[in-house]
Amino acid sequence: MLAYEQLLAEGYASARAGSGTYAARTLAPDAPATRGAEPVRLPSSPHLSRFGSRAVESARGLPSWRLRETPLPYDFRYGRPASGDFPHDAWRRVLARCARRASQESLDYGVPEGLASLRAAIADYASRTRAVRCGPDDVVIVNGSQQGLDLAARVLVDPGDVVVLEEPHYAGARRVFEAAGARVRAVAVDGDGLRVAELPRMARLAYVTPSHQFPTGAVLPAPRRLALLAWAERAGAWLVEDDYDSEYRYAARPVESLQGLDRVGRVLYVGTFSKVLFPSLRLGYVVVPRALRRAFRAAKSLTDTGTSALEQAALAEFIREGYLARHVSRSRARNAARRGALLEAICEHLGAAAEVTGADAGLHVAALAARRSRLATARARARGRGARCRGLSGDAPLQRAPARRRPGARLRVADGAVDPRRHPAPRARHPAAGALTARPSRRIENWRSGWSQGARRRAPSSSTPTVWAPSGANCTM
């Protein structure tokens, strides 16, 4: 019946009462004529705007988040929380409840800055857990933190402006600012995070991860935070603070946000729920200074007509009813146990061949390999044993500044999704260990008290080979 209705609607058939349906003798003037039509010829090289050309160039060679790769038993990929930890039943109940009581108004277009109830819940949550100084009117809901970075670039950056990134850094941020036409200036990090003393005299914006530097895991100490804020005020620069996984700290209480120390309104605080809940929940937020509220809301209204209202309402209740806080507390305990098993395995199987940094927080740790030459074939050997490792250069989501890249292999073993029910923890040598050293040291370090100190003893440099390993996610070693 649907096919007949379509033919009738498009004028290819006509219906006669009491007789039947017949092919139309002539086509309607506006009926699409496809038979014998000339094939559409598309330009081989369409003319793109400067932004379009920069966007294509900045994304060249960088894979998407959803990599199409052959599944392996141990895939150490950063960015995926343990799906088994998520309270699926509670989320389904809250989501179904919000769907059942949806009103006509809630099904209409929403305001660009997001649902008022979710903005209030986030303002309260960020204030309690991260010491962020904000109210509901300061919060803009975005479709993931990546859109928050894009909005910051659209509102604050003109072509030719200098944007400072940490080195190494999150490649997704670099792509956004390069597409905006910025001149990216990479400033090195050490065991205490960004080297604030090496910042340029003038810049338009600096993108930083002070609470858990991505990817080295360094925590920016209070003196450097204050120096960074002072630099921003002198230079007239904006600071974009990406607080991507600060909920997970294992050795000490959570570090206060940089935004909480800001007294002049130069910090934009970017948060996400992808690492706490699940990545397909495309909800993040930006806490913007009062002076930028109007501009951010206007830019958001141009990029879309609002974020999904149903998911916003469900997340607001999920936070307000305490589900999020309980989930974070349970996940932190489980991740701490996984982290302990991982660090012990690295000590036992890699010994002096690797030194771990950034293990006190987050969903990954960094391992600095002592012998650079062995890393050239490490990924292939690990893959042959069923473990996929990620390289620091050339794999999303990590990147070093191109001008500072040096030849040689760097690896990261990052946040993989390994189901212990299907892939139990190996009792013998872990497959990734043989990729780094043929004769692992059996000397077990006192990692329970010494990892954070070891992270400060030697900071990663552009010539230091690196391996990344998960401390969160559903991974066993």
Domains of the chain, by residue range, sit at: 1-34, 70-83+330-470, 87-325
Question: Directed axis angle between helix 171-179 and helix 50-59, to 10°?
Answer: 160
Average pLDDT over residues 268-272: 95
Question: Directed axis angle between helix 88-100 and helix 309-320, to 10°?
Answer: 120
Q: How far apart are CA 38 and CA 275, in angstroms?
A: 50
What are the backbone dihedrals phi and psi of residue 457, each rounded to the nearest 5 degrees, phi first? -70, -35
End-to-end CA distance of the chain: 58
Average pLDDT over residues 24-50: 67
3-state secondary structure of 208: strand
User: pLDDT higher for 38 or 3?
Assistant: 3
Percent helix, strand, coil in the chain, to 5, is 40, 15, 45
Q: Picking from 14-23, 271-280, 327-336, 420-429, which range would have the lowest pLDDT averaged per residue?
A: 420-429
Going by pLDDT thresholds of 50, 70 and 90, the confidence category of residue 436 is very low
What are the backbone dihedrals phi and psi of residue 83, each rounded to the nearest 5 degrees, phi first? -65, -30
Helices marked H in 236-354: 293-303, 309-320, 323-350
Q: Does 477 score more than 70 pLDDT?
A: no
Determine how many CB atoms are found less than 10 A away from the CB of residue 305.
11
Positive or negative: CA dihedral 90, 95, 100, 106 = positive
Question: Directed axis angle between helix 145-156 and helix 171-179, to 10°?
Answer: 30
Average pLDDT over residues 373-386: 75
Please give the C-alpha separations between residue 277 and each of 88, 331, 424, in angstroms, as whole numbers: 10, 10, 24
User: pLDDT higher for 369 or 35?
Assistant: 369
- CATH 3.40.640.10 is held by the domain 87-325: yes
140-152 pLDDT per residue, tens: 999 999 999 999 9
Token readout for 101 is: 């009581």
315-361 pLDDT per residue, tens: 999 999 999 999 998 998 898 888 888 888 888 887 877 778 777 87
160-183 pLDDT per residue, tens: 999 999 998 988 899 999 999 999
Q: Which of 23-32, 54-63, 212-221, 414-423 has the highest mean pLDDT?
A: 212-221
User: pLDDT higher for 12 or 386?
Assistant: 386
Q: Does 306 score more than 80 pLDDT?
A: yes
Percent over 90 (pLDDT), the chain:
39
CATH architecture of 70-83+330-470: Alpha-Beta Complex (3.90)
- The confidence score (pLDDT) of residue 67 equals 55
Q: Picking from 181-190, 428-437, 448-457, which range would have the lowest pLDDT averaged per residue?
A: 448-457
Q: Pick the closest to residue 467 from 402, 401, 372, 396 (CA basis).
A: 372
